A = this chain, B = another copy of it.
Amino acid sequence: MEKLFVIKIGGNIIDDEIKLLSFIKDFAAIKANKILIHGGGKLATKVAEAMGIEQQMVDGRRITDAETLKIVTMVYAGYINKNIVAGLQAAGCNAIGLCGADANVMKAHKRAGAAIDYGFVGDIDAVNNVFIKSVLDNNNSIVFAPITHNAQGQLLNTNADTVANEIAVAMKDYYEVTLIYCFEKDGVLMNANDDTSVIPSISKESFETLKSGNIISAGMIPKLDNAFAAVNAGVKQVIIGNAEKLNTLIQYQTGTVISNEY
């Protein structure tokens, strides 16, 4: 089976022009099949502020009202997505930027019945993995913006971590998939105050121990829950590590590896 890397980057890289350019070069240099999923960064907030559109946040999460959906569609699927693609082209990587509506690649439904109404937020129902494979087979890499659609004309805002998970799982029948979550630390830390205390690998058993001992930071728990869900669903391994060290992450030399094989 051929390898496929599904790599997610977040705001800390997107907001830093120099780090983003360096990441783009590292991504372009990957020889295997590769998919990039990007989050939003601060630009959406800046545009909303500049336009006088108030952003409602609940528990650190943005409420996507109609005006906010317009802004995230512009910023994520337009500005960020197309600039990353142009950067990849300049680095010799033939990439295509897509959102979920393109080729019906990520069909979702508007979240309903939750305690909090997050607005135009989509939960993914189906990934068009046949189309994704055909793009990869033509030696094109894909850059996904975290915008989906409901197949009835409505775009929806979807969490970029979730998009990465769903894409990785959907491609497992065709590829040996490694899902990489990039962030600003070198991996999951044993001690939040010590950046060198990276846990090299976490098994299902050690995760329970780490959780019950309150060793892992609260913010990391949902990321790890997602990671275990992905490996349980057939993704070979998930790596959590530093976006600035992508070339060592893809060689499994840095970062925290989550796998059912340990």
Contact = CB atoms under 8 A, between A and B. Distances in A.
Interface of A: 47, 50-52, 70, 73-79, 81-83, 85-87, 89-90, 94-99, 101-104, 131, 134, 138, 140, 147, 149, 151-155
B89 A151 contact: yes
B73 A83 contact: yes
A42 to B, nearest CB: 14
- The A contact surface, by secondary structure, is helix
Given A94-B103, A97-B99, A103-B140, 16 more contacts: A70-B79, A74-B78, A76-B78, A77-B78, A77-B82, A78-B78, A78-B82, A82-B147, A85-B99, A86-B149, A87-B153, A89-B149, A96-B103, A97-B98, A97-B102, A131-B138
Q: How many copies does the complex hold?
A: 2
25 contacts: A50-B52, A51-B51, A73-B82, A73-B83, A74-B74, A74-B78, A74-B79, A77-B77, A77-B79, A78-B79, A78-B82, A82-B101, A85-B99, A85-B102, A85-B149, A86-B149, A86-B153, A86-B155, A90-B151, A94-B104, A95-B102, A96-B102, A96-B103, A103-B140, A134-B138
Contact of A101 (B85, B152, B154): B85
Most buried by B among A47, A78, A153: A78
A104 B92 CA distance: 10
A195 to B, nearest CB: 31
Contact of A90 (B85, B94, B147, B152): B152
A87 B47 CA distance: 25
Contacts of A90: 151-153
A26 to B, nearest CB: 15
A132 B224 CA distance: 40
Contacts of A138: 131, 134
A82 to B, nearest CB: 5
Contacts of A76: 78
Contact of A89 (B51, B85, B153): B153
A153 B20 CA distance: 12
Contacts of A89: 101, 104, 149, 151, 153
A15 to B, nearest CB: 14
Most buried by B among A52, A89, A97, A149: A89
Contacts of A155: 82-83, 86
Contacts of A149: 85-86, 89
A75 B51 CA distance: 14
